[in-house]
Amino acid sequence: MLNITAARRRNRAMVEINMAPMIDMVFLLLIFFLVTTSFVKETGIEVSRPTATTATAGEKANILIGIDANNRVFLDRYEIDIRAVRANIERTLAENPEGTVVVVADKASATGTAIEVMDGCRMAGAQNVSLAAKLPQAE
C-alpha cells in the first residue's frame, strides 16, 4: 500500500505544467509589439478638413495644431488659448528646431483664427508653416 501512494505522488508531480516559459514568451511578444508599433501624432480633435484641388500629400508633420469648428485651438491633444500659440510653438521648436508646423483647421472654423494661429507660429520662429487640406476624392 505504501508503494501505491508513493507512485500516485510521483504521477501528480509529473503532470504539473511549467508556466515560466509561457510567461517568458508572452512578455517577449509584448515587448516586440511595443517596439514595432508606429506611433502617429494626432491633433486630438475630430476635424473636417476642406478639400483643395492643388493639395499635395506632404511628409509627416512634426508639430500639429488643430482648430475645431468652434475656433478652439489644440496642441498635442490639449486645448490652448490662441494667445499662447506663440509661447507653445517656441517651446516645441526649442526641443526640435527643424520642426514643421501644420495647422489642421476645420472647414467650419473662422479663417481669421487660422491666420492668427499661423502668424503666432511664424512669430515663434517656425520656418515651415502649412495649412492642411484633403485631397479631392476621384469620382
116, 86 contact by CB (below 8 A):
no
* Overall pTM surpassing 0.85 (yes/no): no
Q: Span 41-139: which CATH code?
A: 3.30.420.270
pLDDT tens digits for range 56-77: 555 555 788 999 889 899 988 8
CA separation for the pair 20, 14 (Å, rounded): 16
Is the confidence at residue 121, as pLDDT, over 70? yes
Query: What's the pLDDT score for residue 86?
Result: 92
